[in-house]
Chain A
Amino acid sequence: MSTQTSTRPVALRCSGLVKRFTDVTAVNGLDLEVFAGECFGLLGPNGAGKTTTVEILEGLTPSDEGEVELLGRHWTSGNDRALRERIGVQLQETQLAEKVTVVETLRLFRSFYQRGHGVDEVIHTVALEEKRNARVGKLSGGQKQRLAVACALVSDPELLFLDEPTTGLDPQARLSLWDIVEKFRAGGGTILLTTHYMEEAERLCDRVAIMDHGKMIALGTPAELIESLGADQIIEFSVTKELEEDPVQRLPAVSHLHKRSDVYALTVSEIGVALPALLAEIERQQSELVTLTTHQATLEDVFVSLTGRMLRDG
């Protein structure tokens, strides 16, 4: 891993990043390194400091401490414009003007850059050809978000920032946005993406940093992070009578037991061994099974095991 990092070119690096607001420290000593050509995910619940981090990296918010290096440059008031030419930005809360059309919006954004894609090319990339002359106010949530990404892509950026690009979108709209991101990545672009959707990070990201309370609590590929649980299956179950936890934890192939309200989550390496043993143990404790589900371990489970909370709890 370390030999790999030294040879790969770095598109974005920050170290010791701190940002304090009056009532909270949003970012608390963050170090990140994003390699050129990778899709890097910042994962964490709402309020973890993802958006503040991204806006510092984008040069929109000054940090209190720490350094940011972007495409080999730093944010200063001097060469900002040259640097902005090379990055594409989608902000979490931007609402584009409603009375203008898709093509008019993109023409405006395109005009800010020296070089970039043709407006119609980008409209094609984000599959908005049919809405080319529709007003922004008439677009669906997914279409608006695709337009927001198109505005970020129109300059043909080297580095693309996407801040929760699919939050609040239906599954279909989410899929079509993922396609756009994957196309950009396939074309050699670097992406920094924030999300609180696990499946999004697993699908899109080469590497993921998990953030909580302004700090990074885990870093690796999705597979590495899941592997770090020492297991690949999760059994979730509930029972009629509360279980004594110690014997359950000592069952074969079980690495971790976590109880959240009345649902037990058992992290196991071999489900074929653990499941019969669990059923026998429940019977031995004279309890009865109410519900039982199993699933492949996900980043969500990683987050739960690291923080004891669910991601969506925030």
Chain B
Amino acid sequence: MNASVFCCEQAEVRLTSASGEKTILQGIDLNIGRGEFLCMVGGSGTGKTTLLRALGGFCAPTGGAVFYEGAAFSGPPAGVVTVFQDYGNALLPWRTVRGNVALGIEEQVSGAALDDRIDAALAMVGLQQAAREYPAKLSGGMQQRLQIARALALQPKVLLMDEPFGALDAMTKAKLQDQLRHIQASTGATIVFITHDVDEAVYLGDRVILLAGSPGRIASELRPALPATRDQISTKEMPEYLHARHELLERLHGAAR
């Protein structure tokens, strides 16, 4: 019985850009377990986004293999939903909050069942009050919550998130981090989460992987020894947290040198 959701074997991704073909990722060996919260950190240009896009079915590996539930795939696999960093481009401005959440499920369910699914997704991110608003009327944090709710409405097995909180202020970010941990605990979803923020990676992740180099590879990984339920204040004062943070920062700076 294979417990891993995603499995990369010596995966390599080459992309063609204006300056010719470039190898972005090389020799990626990675297993992502069911229900795991995996954070990816690394400097710019180390291929974090490309790796996430390969998992999300937006770019196929040019070498090696990437499997989802044991099978190779082209295009986003069923049960895997990507949440993008630029929520402004990802939301539909002509649909209300409810309409946006309905987008992915309105073909499959209808009537009261549809309403229930939308309500449940909105409740998970705390957006019930804004259900009838248009996205343009919402703050950045609320718009990103809306995008997460739209993904959650599909009841995904895996959420792939590319720096979802990158553009948000510290307070909003902390609140959304807690909500996301909570959502993962209640839905059992696997989450792969890219961030630039070392604190965020250690606080959120069951495991943190560090990408480095060009072409990017997995330089090291780390499992913060933290309890499943985390708290913005007490968790961040725990010696284990500080140790993991110290370790990760050191490796990050070591990798950059």
Task: Indicate whether A and B interact.
Answer: no
Using a CB–CB cutoff of 8 Å, the interface residues on chain B facing chain A are: none
